[in-house]
A = this chain, B = another copy of it.
Amino acid sequence: MPLRTPLQYAHTHLNRHMAELLDFLRIPSISTQPERTPDVHRAADWLAESLRHAGLEHVQVIATQRHPLVYADWLHAGPEKPTVLIYGHYDVQPAEPLALWHTPPFEPVVIDDYIYARGAADDKGQAYIHVKAVEAFLQGSGRLPVNVKFIMEGEEESGGESLAAFVPQQTALLAADVAVISDTAMVSKDVPAIVYGLRGMCYILMDLTGPGRDLHSGGFGGGINNPINALGHLLARLKDEEGHILIPGFYDKVRPLSAEERAVLAKFPLDEAAWLAETGAPAAWGEPEYTLVERLGARPTLDVNGVIGGYTGPGSKTVLPSTVHAKISMRLVPDQDPLEVRDLFCRYVESLLPPSIKVTFTFRGGAPASITDYNTPAVKAAERAYATVFGREPVLMREGGSIPVVGLFQQHLGVETVLMGFGLPDDKIHAPNERFYVPNYVRGIQTVIHFLAGLDVPGSMA
Taking beta carbons and an 8 Å cutoff, which residues of A are in contact with B?
32-34, 93-94, 96-97, 100, 157-159, 185, 199, 201, 203, 205, 210-226, 228-239, 241, 243, 279-287, 292, 295-296, 299-322, 324-327, 329, 331, 354-358, 364-365, 399-402, 425, 428-432
Given contacts A32-B316, A309-B307, A320-B305, contact A331 B221 (CB under 8 A): yes
Distance in angstroms between the alpha carbons of A96 and B322 in the assembled complex: 13
Quick check: B287 and A222 within 8 Å, CB to CB?
yes
Which chain B residues border A237 with CB–CB below 8 Å? 236
Q: Return A52 CB to nearest CB of chain B, in Å.
A: 31
A-B contact pairs, 7 of them (CB 8 A): A201-B218, A222-B301, A223-B292, A223-B296, A231-B235, A306-B310, A316-B327
Nearest 10 CB-CB pairings of A with B: A212-B280, A232-B235, A218-B401, A32-B315, A306-B310, A236-B236, A228-B304, A221-B301, A225-B285, A222-B295
Given contacts A307-B228, A316-B32, contact A220 B429 (CB under 8 A): no
Which of A243, A281, A287, A301 is packed against the most chain B CB atoms within 10 Å? A281
Question: Nearest CB to that of A217 among chain B residues?
Answer: B303
Quick check: A356 and B285 within 8 Å, CB to CB?
yes
Given B211, B279, B303, which contacts A212 in the complex, CB threshold below 8 Å?
B279
Distance in angstroms between the alpha carbons of A330 and B327 in the assembled complex: 27
Quick check: B305 and A317 within 8 Å, CB to CB?
yes
Quick check: B280 and A322 within 8 Å, CB to CB?
yes
Quick check: B307 and A324 within 8 Å, CB to CB?
yes
Distance in angstroms between the alpha carbons of A4 and B317 in the assembled complex: 43
Given contacts A219-B429, A226-B304, A431-B213, contact A159 B316 (CB under 8 A): yes
Quick check: A218 and B317 within 8 Å, CB to CB?
no
Q: Return A302 CB to nearest CB of chain B, in Å.
A: 8
Which chain B residues border A221 with CB–CB below 8 Å? 296, 301, 303, 331, 400
Distance in angstroms between the alpha carbons of A318 and B233 in the assembled complex: 23
Question: Nearest CB to that of A203 among chain B residues?
Answer: B316
Given B296, B321, B354, which contacts A306 in the complex, CB threshold below 8 Å?
B321
Which chain B residues border A236 with CB–CB below 8 Å? 232-233, 235-237
